[in-house]
Every structure is written in structure tokens, then in C-alpha cells.
Amino acid sequence: MNIPILTSKLPQVGTTIFTVMSALAQQHGAVNLGQGFPDFDCDPALLDAVNAAMRAGHNQYPPMAGIAPLREAISQKMAALYGQAYDPADEITITAGGTQGLLTAILCCIQRDDEVIVLEPAYDSYVPAIQLAGGVPVGVAMTADYRIDWPAVRAAITPRTRALILNTPHNPSGRVASAEDLQTLSALAEQHNLLIISDEVYEHMVFDGQPQHSVAAYSALAARSFVVSSFGKTFHVTGWKIGYVAAPRALMNEFRKVHQFNVFTVNTPVQYGITQYLQDPRPWQDLSAFYQAKRDLFRQGLAQTGLRLLPCEGTYFQTVDYSALSDLPEVEFARWLTTEIGVAAIPLSVFYQQTLERQHVRFCFAKKESTLQQALEKLQQLGK
């Protein structure tokens, strides 16, 4: 039998580290603080709203861009938060999660051989998405304390540079871009006529009273940016895979051309349920305090170990430096931590294109207090 042999479009891509570490955690009965998802339930009121939408008959295709009431609610929220008026009819699209929004934004604006600056460590979908679009990902490492290295970004820009992907709050480091960062980005984008794809899925998880500096809050940036967010992250329903993208009309027009053929549209009753749930702003307004309490509990416990805490200004990830405890490379240390200590983490080296070992691993603290306490009891063996 003559069976065609495929030439891979992503020859370097294998099983993700998240799958590997989750399987290892299950095999060894470890507490899984690796993959970024909550182990607690969402608000029952949200479930009730989605269930009511199903029973009300909202089970067929919605409009391609998403139902109008949800897009209107998003527009109102973004205007209140960032002062930017996005037209719900033409400038907001509901997506099947943040990752689909990112892929669609990249596919619609990156042509073959266009260069895209990726600030590393970077969420693992960015580089494959750029490659699928025929573009060239250009990794620029952040500083040792995970700030954007603007001199390095400037040095990486060439005449072929088409876009830059920003992620704030930042996964995996937990850092948050400052107003100065956004102002610098705005000037660079204007100088080099760059598009910005801004991954802001953790926008409502910023701690210590600090604001989220969205590109939407800077009119010059908003005019050239796709802003990506996620209801799955905000409302503890990552498995629902629903998010949204906001962009100026000309950019959104091209975005929707791709969106209609790679997804077409998104789960109807969930759209109606979230629309109803958004009528009360407190769930997302209270989210920073909710996760800051978990962060503080977790950091207090980690302080009793030999791990050095790095700053955590947002997201639900805590990065630590283990160099005082071990010389193992990051992947090997993460495996050892899972199999011998009983806590799964993610090595930060996997978030880079180049080889870069800093002896850092990332924990997810989007967990029940009992889960965090169980993990801390195990991790405190490291200080003995």
C-alpha cells in the first residue's frame, strides 16, 4: 500500500512539557502545580446562567463574530477600564479561547518571511503560530529579573519586522509591564510601523494595588494592536475555551476573514451565559484580591524552603530560583522535584527558542488552599 508521507509544518514540535509533567505527576502521585488551571469550581451562578441559556433554546449557531449583547458588554468593560471605545459591531470578536485569538491574529497579519519579535520566555503557542503563518519568530530574551530588555528589542528590529507579541501580565514569569514599557513600545511601534499582538488573558490578576497597563489604554498603540483576553482565565472555566479579541476596524476585518474559516463561531449558550454573568462586575473586579491571597499564602510558605522567590506582580504563576539547592538543569530539576519531592513544576527553559538555563521553575497557585498547603509541606523538605 502506498501511503503518503507528510512533511511536517512544525518539525520541532513534540509533546508539550505540560503534558509530560502532568503525566509524571499523575504517575508519582505528586501535587500538580505545573499546568496553569484551577482545581476549584467556578461560581455556580455562572453555571446556572449557561444552563438557563441552553434551556431557553440558545443552542444553534450564533453570529460569526459572537452575539451582539456579549460584544456590547465587552466594549463597555474595556471603555470603563482603559478609556478606549471599541465598536462592538466591527471591532470585537468572540473567540474559542485566547490561544485561538492569538493564532487568528497572527495568521491574518503575518506574511511569508515577516519577522515577529517574541519576548522570551514566551507562552508556547506563539512560535508555532508564527511558523504556521510562514513568518520568522525572533526571540528576544527578557532581563534576568524578567523585565523587557528594550535595547535588545531595538537591536532585533529589521526592515522585515512586522509585529511584536506583548504578554502582560506575563506568563510564565508573573511580571507586569509598566507604563514606561508601554510608552517605549508605542514609540518603537510608531517608528518602525509595527503591529502589536497583546496577550492580556491575565488582565484581571494584577496585585498590590497596581493597574493593568493595557495597550488599549494608549491610543497610539490601540490603533495598531490586537488585544486578546480570556473568559476561561477570568472566570475559572479554562475548559470552556472562550475569549475575545478587540482591534481597530481595519485590523478586525482581516481577523474575521481568518476567524470564519478556522472556527467560524463559538459555543452559543456559553456566550449567553457569560453575557448574563457580566451584568455583575464584582467577579472580575474581585479577581486580583482573590488570587493575591493565594499568592501571599504560597509565597509565605515558599519562604520556608531553600527556593528564592522571584517577583510575582500578576497572573497565577510564581517563579523561583533553585540554584542554592541544586546544579541540575531545569528540566531535570523539574523531573526530580516531581518524582522525589512530590510537587510538579514547569522549567522556564522550555519557554525559549534558544538554550538558556537560569535554574528557574514555575509553579501555578490557582489551586485550593488545601492543595497549596499540601504542596508547601512537601516543598519545605527542600529547606532541611
Q: What would the pLDDT profile of 51-87 be if each residue is shown by its tens digit?
A: 999 999 999 999 999 999 999 999 999 999 999 999 9
Q: Are strands 243-246 and 225-230 parallel, antiparallel or unpaired?
A: antiparallel
Higher per-residue pLDDT: 35 or 270: 270
How many CB atoms within 10 Å of residue 295? 25
Q: What pLDDT does 20 receive?
A: 87
Could you please state the CATH topology (level 3) that the domain comprising 17-36+285-383 is classified under: Aspartate Aminotransferase, domain 1 (3.90.1150)
Q: What pLDDT does 12 receive?
A: 85
92 — pLDDT class (breaks 50, 70, 90): very high
Inform me whether the pLDDT recorded for 105 exceeds 80.
yes
CA distances from 337 to 200, 305, 341 (A): 30, 13, 5
C-alpha–C-alpha distance, residues 276 and 270, integer Å = 10
Average pLDDT for 283-302: 98
Q: Are 254 and 108 in contact (CB under 8 A)?
A: yes
Average pLDDT for 106-115: 98
Picking from 252, 179, 254, the residue whose alpha carbon sits closest to that of residue 218 is: 179
Average pLDDT for 87-101: 98
184 — pLDDT class (breaks 50, 70, 90): very high
Cell of 32: 500538580
Inform me whether the pLDDT recorded for 356 exceeds 90.
no
C-alpha–C-alpha distance, residues 131 and 196, integer Å = 17
Contacts 24+ apart (CB under 8 A), 214-220: 214/81, 214/82, 214/168, 215/166, 215/182, 215/185, 216/78, 216/81, 216/82, 216/84, 216/86, 216/246, 217/81, 217/82, 217/83, 217/84, 217/182, 218/182, 218/183, 218/186, 219/84, 220/186, 220/189, 220/190
Kindly report the average pLDDT of the chain as a whole number. 96
Q: Is the peptide bond before 347 cis (omega within 30 degrees of 0)?
A: no
Inform me whether the pLDDT recorded for 384 exceeds 70.
no
Inform me whether the pLDDT recorded for 383 exceeds 80.
no
Class of domain 44-279 (CATH, top level): alpha beta
Average pLDDT for 256-262: 97
DSSP 337: I
367 — pLDDT class (breaks 50, 70, 90): very high
In the three-class reduction of DSSP (H, G, I as helix; E, B as strand; rest coil), residue 138 is classed as: strand
Average pLDDT for 270-286: 98
180 — pLDDT class (breaks 50, 70, 90): very high
DSSP run (H or E) holding 326: none
Q: Where along the chain do its domains lie?
A: 17-36+285-383, 44-279
Amino acid at 314: G
Q: What percent of the chain has pLDDT over 90?
A: 91
pTM of the model: 0.96
Q: What pLDDT does 18 receive?
A: 84
Average pLDDT for 148-153: 98
Average pLDDT for 9-25: 86
Q: Give per-residue pLDDT as tens, 315-343.
A: 999 999 999 999 999 999 999 999 999 99
Inform me whether the pLDDT recorded for 212 exceeds 90.
yes
